[in-house]
Amino acid sequence: MDLGEISPQTLMERLTREPPKLIDVREPWEFELCRIAGAINVPLQTLPARLPELEQSHDIVVICHHGMRSLYAAEFLRDQGFSSVLNLTGGIARWGREIDPGMPQY
């Protein structure tokens, strides 16, 4: 089964060509500590209510701290009819280690 994952390196490359919509499902306090530029904060528990804000035709990458909440969110979005949804493998923590070492970690 394809889990619909994207590595930080592949996401970085995509951001320079055809940027997907970045949905960060962490809590607002986490989002304030560190985030990928251009990401919008949609805390996981608010995702169902905020579906109307998202377009099903957009490519979406879902982000959280380590990749578990975002995996759940990506599955939820696919179940709601979103066809192009990927989970950032390892979350913002892996992004910080591999792409942006100066990013604050928690």
> Which one of the listed residues 42, 64, 74, 88 is annotated catalytic?
64
CATH number of the domain that residue 67 is part of: 3.40.250.10
- pTM, entire model: 0.94
On whether residue 38 sits in a domain, the answer given is yes
Residue 10 reports pLDDT greater than 70: yes
On whether residue 104 sits in a domain, the answer given is no
On whether residue 105 sits in a domain, the answer given is no
The 10s digit of each residue's pLDDT in 15-55 is 999 899 999 999 999 999 999 999 999 999 999 999 999 99
Domain that holds residue 26: 5-98
How many angstroms separate the CA atoms of 38 and 59, rounded? 14
The 10s digit of each residue's pLDDT in 49-85 is 999 999 998 999 999 999 999 999 999 999 999 989 9
DSSP annotation string for 13-29: HHHHHSPPEEEE-S-HH
Does 34 participate in catalysis according to the annotation?
Answer: no
Q: How many CA atoms lie within 13 A of 95 on its CB side?
A: 26
Count of structural domains within the chain: 1
Q: How confident is the model at residue 1 (pLDDT cuts 50, 70, 90)?
A: very low
